[in-house]
Amino acid sequence: MGMAQLVVTAVLVEGRLKSEVAREFGVSRRWVITLVRRYLAEGEAGLVPVHGGR
């Protein structure tokens, strides 16, 4: 399981706060929010890293 899946699981399954999860994993709260939104909209496909023009 990759970091994106761990982050989403911590928020959606464990019910933890996004800011708490961000601190624990050493990422921004904004990235946690983005991952959760992508997962809710696209499922697992939303967690696949996108490389390129972003």
Q: Give Cα 1 to chain centroid, integer Å.
A: 12
Percent residues over pLDDT 70 in the chain: 94
Mean pLDDT of 11-33: 97
Sequence-separated (6 or more) residues with CB below 8 Å from residue 43: none
pLDDT of 54 strictly over 80: no
- Could you state, in order of their start, the residue ranges of all structural domains in the chain? 3-47
Mean pLDDT of 16-45: 97
pLDDT of 17 strictly over 80: yes
